[in-house]
Structure 1
Amino acid sequence: MSDDWIALGTSRGRWVLAATALGSGMAFLDGTVVNVALPAMGEDFNAGMAGLQWIVNGYMLMLAALILLSGSLGDRLGRRRVFVIGVIWFAVASMLCAAAPTLEVMIAGRVLQGMGGALLTPGSLAILQTSFQRSDRAKAVGIWSGLTSVAAAVGPFVGGSLVDSGSWRLIFVLNAPIALVTVLVTLRHVPETLDETAAGKLDINGAILVTIGLAGLTFGLIGAGDDGFGSARVLTSLAIGVLALVAFVEVERRSSHPMLPPGIFHNRRFTGANLVTVAVYGALGTSTFLLVVYLQTVLGYSALWAGASLLPMTLLMLALSGYAGGLSERIGARIPMTVGPLLMSAGFLLMLRIRPGSNYFTDVLPAVVVLGFGLVSTVAPLTATVLASVDDHHAGIASGVNNAVARSAQLMAVAAIPMAAGITGDSYREPLAFQNGFDNALWITAVLAIAGAAIAWFSLAEPKTRSSKSRGLVHHHTHCALEAPPYADSRTPS
């Protein structure tokens, strides 16, 4: 063991943990507060549903496209260096969002925020994995997960309070002092680590193609809501997106240093778990995006109470994920990952009871609680299955791929489902029109979740002899937040 490795109980260990939790917590906090502020931003910018979708998806697009590349960048240039650059980048982009005079500038700021988030998100866990001594890493990741989850939980209260009492612009200003403290603590206390054995060039071509592909599809799907699929602009965007993604697959297949190794999908359980991720996170991302807007525009909730309405779901995740992980370790992931999406589907269908004048405790809360139990049952087994289905030296890339898959699923679902449900233009401001579209969207998300349950049942059958490798991972890789699975560094020193 290297003498340079840090013990968790030491002063320096606590500072390292604080720096990584602050950085990643800032990103998670931003994600929750932005959703709460969407109606206020839409009113200020006179934005239709497409504008709100781009405020969310501008960030998600760059996060999904670049998160794998940024992990490799940290391995080569230094994980602390890339993490600090990501934090500073995120803060500067936040200031652009805070000062945005138009919707277009806001979307540009969110795109830049996504680039910063892609740099800092994998870096925070990579720093923990490569700085702490091996015996303390699992505990450090667990504490980090708890702290970042707290950030996600308090986000609606912070964001809602700022929106209700001041301006939505303050939610972006808030990132500046957090970023300043994070950078100072990181430079003072976090050691620099890199992978001196990292070989091959960075997969820049792959990153460019996947960004163009996701952007083309997102632009086309959102544009179809207003212009229809017959629009030349929509068809051109979709065609560019499809061609770029086809080219991306070919580049990755031929590359000696792909950021997404195609061979990793040869494992049936790994592929199955990622398909479940697509269904579950696509449904979850869309439903929470629409619900927070719906509660404010149709039911008249304040920003604070609309955001807080989802808090029981987060609290259930914090309280019960460890128990769910232990259960799946004993009985396997197949049953929990089948039951979980079914419960999520039931939660979406319960939201159909929400109508103008509905009571939170009798109509909203039951749906949120059932959805929360579905997430509890799904999330920890999903993460453990992803990690256990590949060899140890591929754990980092497996976790990173699953993270990117989750972000991409949310990106595509938020772009496509509102359009398919009929929520276009300014319809979200008209209670009756939004009610009908919201109901349609809930049916679509419920079907998606059921599809996730079916995929889990047929693809995750336990092998006759469970390997010892599949045990003991659940508690070490608990989900850190509702947005996406955690990133685990693939080059942890032994």
Structure 2
Amino acid sequence: MTSHGLHPVHAAAPPARRWLALGLLGAAQFMLILDITVVNVALPDIGADLGLTRTSVTWVVTTYTLLFGGLMLLGGRLADLFGAHRVLYAGLATFTVASLLAGLADEGTLLIAGRAAQGVGAALMSPAALSIVTTTFTGTERHKALGVWGMLGGTGSAIGVLLGGALTAGPGWRWIFFINLPVGASVLILLPYALRGFRFIRSDERPDLPGALLITAATGAFIYGLTNAGDDGWTGGRTLLPIGAAVLLYAGFWFWQRTARQPLVDLRLLMRGAMPAGALLMLVATALLVGGFFIGSFWLQHIRGYSALSTGLAFLPIAVATIAGAHTAGRAIDHAGGRLVGVAGLLLAAAGFAVAAWWTSTLGLITGVSLAAAGLGATFVTATTTALAHVDPHRAGVASGVLNTFHELGAAVGVAATSSIAAGSLVATGATTAGFTHGLTAGAIVAVVAAAAAAVLVPAGKPPAGSVRHVH
């Protein structure tokens, strides 16, 4: 079984075309990951240009990651039913057209609608693309191909903040969406040639549409409640009612998955072994990292008066630290084990956020968040290794899909929570720094709590040889 339960692709094409297909699919996946962070640096300009409230600015980020993560497993099921290549083309076309609509938006509702359509397109495209990669290559070529694929997650997120700053300062924020058009069009034109000769096997399984709707609605209600907390308080009706509805919807999803004939998620897999620990770490690490990018962008532009380009460049040490932390942890886990590396990474993240909250200067922010990013990079590796090291090979694809879903939903939850905690500092240029300090302090507290959880939940000892290190 391949990623998300997809059935194999038989390659009857020359090796050159297989690698061309990987390059095109990698470019498309890179574009999807880029759009998670490329918007962060442009948010102050977008908000000012379109007259957006703090809540609307938050939804510009969270709508994309919510639908990307919430519908990703459904996208895998649809690829089973209709063929990975067909779902891939549909998702890529949807994402490309949605990028055009987002770039042309002249008010907040249209922009958020464009971001929603981008998320739907990404959820269709990403699992289908990974399925094609994993089933097109065999043996050592597959390891090389998946290694390339794994690097896209970290580098895409890191380059997103730099590219977002350059485009916003240059041709304008709309180009963070317009830049997707030539990439999407090129892949749509060239990929059919690269995949010519491949035979895609379809399944007779049916997609679990109710399950997908329940999990997406539950997370949407939860994020809506978190976002409202910044205006109504944590005990306000518009905060508690949506969060209560989310709890009920999550319970409904759990019940449905236990009774459905072809569930979206195999709950036995989700609760087996160390999978819950890995999923929790992935959720927390992504929430903290993307939340840090979000709060840092507003800090530098609202408080320090940085331009979008200067902000993007200022994030360079943070991006490098994330990649360095992941690389170091990949080696350290083989010697120290996942529990020690995970706990150390989260404690380093807590210390970094504490430094940024206490040292209220540009240097303090960059230094602190860079330390936090290095620790969170290590946590990503711990999460993937913990979740996938003991999964049966024929379930590895489905497990990867579950973990990727927690990654995207973590980004949405992180931005929503950070936006509410730092609400007082996000409303206007020159605002107080108190909200930013509260947001960073909250990040430190969450990281400490997660470290304590990791010390209990993550298995001791070294992972099996050859276990997965990176996934997105």
Q: Report if TM-score (shorter chain) is over 0.5.
A: yes
Q: How does 1:437-456 map to 2 (within 5 A)?
A: 437-456=435-454
Contact (CA 8 Å) 1:42, 1:48: kept in 2 or not?
yes
Shift of 1:320: 5.8
Tell me whether 1:50 sits opposite 2:48 in the alignment.
no
Name the % identity: 30
C-alpha distance in 1, partners of 2:243/2:324?
A: 42
Partner residue of 2:397?
Answer: 396
The aligned residue for residue 80 of structure 2 is 75
Q: Check the 8 A contact 1:252/1:260 in 2, yes or no.
A: yes
Displacement of 1:162 = 2.0
Paired position in structure 1 for 2:123? 118
Moved more, 215-224 or 230-239: 230-239
Render the CA deviation track for 1:100-135: whole Å, top value 9, x for unaligned. 121111111111111111112222222110111232
Equivalent-residue separation in structure 1 for 2:252 and 2:153 (angstroms): 36
The residue number in structure 1 matching 2:263 is: 258
Structure 2, unaligned stretches of length 5 or more? 1-7
How far did residue 288 of structure 1 move? 1.6
Stretch moving more, 67-76 or 365-374: 365-374
- Which residue does the alignment assign to 1:219? 224
1:295 shift after superposition = 0.8
Contact 2:101 2:111 (C-alpha < 8 Å) held by counterparts: yes
Among 98, 101, 107, which residue is 1:102 paired with? 107
**Is residue 156–residue 304 contact of structure 1 (8 Å, CA) maintained in 2?**
no
Match of 1:473 in 2: 467
Q: Which has the larger displacement, 69-78 or 141-150?
A: 141-150
For the residues of structure 2 that align with 1:327 and 1:237, how far apart are their CA atoms? 42
Q: CA deviation at 1:231?
A: 5.5
Alignment of 1:31-50 (within 5 A): 31-50=36-55
> Which residue among 433, 436, 453 is the counterpart of 2:434?
436
1:423 pairs with 2:429: no
Check conservation: 1:17, 1:128, Cα contact below 8 A. Answer: yes
Please give the per-residue CA displacement for 1:264-312, whole angstroms capped at 9, x wherever unaligned. 2332421122222232222222222111121111111111121232222
Provide the C-alpha distance between the structure 1 equivalents of 2:388 and 2:338, rounded to a whole number of angstroms.
Answer: 12
The structure-2 alpha-carbon separation of the partners of 1:202 and 1:284, relative to structure 1 and needing over 3 Å to count, comes to: same
How far is 1:353 from its partner?
A: 4.3
The answer for the alignment partner of 2:368 in structure 1 is 367
Q: Give the aligned partner of residue 406 of structure 1.
A: 407
Aligned partners of 2:81 and 2:205 also within 8 Å: no
Mapped partners of 1:123, 1:319: distance in 2: 29
Partner of 1:381: 382
> 1:15 Cα shift?
0.7
Which residue identity does 1:378 align to in structure 2? T
1:432 Cα deviation (Å)?
4.3
1:386-430 deviations in whole A, cap 9, x for unaligned? 1113211111121111111222233223223432x2515x74325
Query: Is residue 2:299 matched to residue 1:283?
Result: no
Give matches, 1:92-491, under 5 Å: 92-146=97-151, 149-190=154-195, 192=198, 194-196=200-202, 198-228=203-233, 233-319=238-324, 321-355=326-360, 358-360=361-363, 363-419=364-420, 421-424=421-424, 427-433=426-432, 435-462=433-460, 470-474=464-468, 477-478=469-470, 485-486=471-472
Distance 1:156 1:461, change over 3 A: closer
Rounded to whole Å, the distance in 2 between the matches of 1:178 and 1:340 is: 35
Distance 1:60 1:142 in 2: 24
Report Cα offsets for 1:235-282 as digits up to 9, x if no partner. 543343332222111101111211111112332421122222232222
Query: Structure 2 vs 1, CA of residues 285 and 148 (structure 1 numbering), >3 Å: closer, same or farther?
Result: closer
Which amino acid in 1 is paired with 2:410?
A: A
Please say which of residues 181-190 and 401-410 is displaced more in the overlay.
401-410
Query: Which deviates further from its counterpart, 375-384 or 390-399?
Result: 375-384
Greater shift, 403-412 or 308-317, is seen at: 308-317
SS in 1 for 2:230: helix
Contact 1:281 1:406 in 2 (8 A): yes
2:94 match: 89
Change (3 A) 1:154 1:2: closer
Specify whether residues 248 and 349 from structure 1 end up closer, same or farther in structure 2 by C-alpha distance, changes over 3 A only: same
Aligned equivalents of 2:65, 2:175: Cα separation in 1: 21
Q: Residue in 1 aligned with 2:34? A: 29
Question: TM-score normalized by structure 2?
Answer: 0.91
